[in-house]
Copies of this chain bind each other. A is one copy, B any other.
Amino acid sequence: MRPTRQRLALAALLVGDGGNRHVTAESLYAAAAAEGEKVSLATVYNTLRAFCDAGLMTEITVDAARSYFDTRTDDHPHFFWEDSQTLCDAPAEQLDIRSLPKAPDGAEVARVDVVIRLRRRS
């Protein structure tokens, strides 16, 4: 993968702020624009996809309307705030799964997604 100016800029944004970012294409596009980086939305999509294909980040499916991307690539749980549509990491060490439904014959587990949907307490 070629280290072009746009890719480096997007990568810097993703790694910056201490890493562990959860972005949507729109939010990353906005962040790039805020820094004065000239990147098109299509390139943001293409780049996010390229990073995912390269194993540098993963796509998290929590909302049918929008795709979220996570800079962490290991399997870990997430909090999803339903009111603000915000995604963030949940402390993995507080999750204790003692047993998992065993995969049917001929199947192997690719990933286990755990999404804890949160509502603001009334």
Residues of A within 8 A of B (CB): 59, 61-64, 66-67, 77, 79, 81-82, 90-92, 94-104, 106-121
Q: Given A82-B110, A90-B101, A92-B101, list of 4 further CB < 8 A pairs?
A: A79-B103, A108-B121, A109-B118, A114-B114
Inter-chain contact B106/A121, CB cutoff 8 Å: yes
Please measure, in the bound complex, the distance between the C-alpha atom of A90 and the C-alpha atom of B110, giving whole angstroms.
15
Please measure, in the bound complex, the distance between the C-alpha atom of A63 and the C-alpha atom of B60, giving whole angstroms.
9
Task: Note all chain B residues with C-beta closer than 8 A to A59.
Answer: 64
Task: Note all chain B residues with C-beta closer than 8 A to A94.
Answer: 99-102
Chain B residue at smallest Cβ distance from A65: B64
Beyond A64-B61, A98-B98, A99-B96, is A104–B79 a contact (Cβ under 8 Å)? yes
Please measure, in the bound complex, the distance between the C-alpha atom of A59 and the C-alpha atom of B61, giving whole angstroms.
13
Task: Note all chain B residues with C-beta closer than 8 A to A100.
Answer: 94-95, 116
Inter-chain contact B117/A114, CB cutoff 8 Å: no
Partner of A99, one of B95, B107, B108: B95
Please measure, in the bound complex, the distance between the C-alpha atom of A111 and the C-alpha atom of B62, giving whole angstroms.
12
Task: Note all chain B residues with C-beta closer than 8 A to A112.
Answer: 114-117
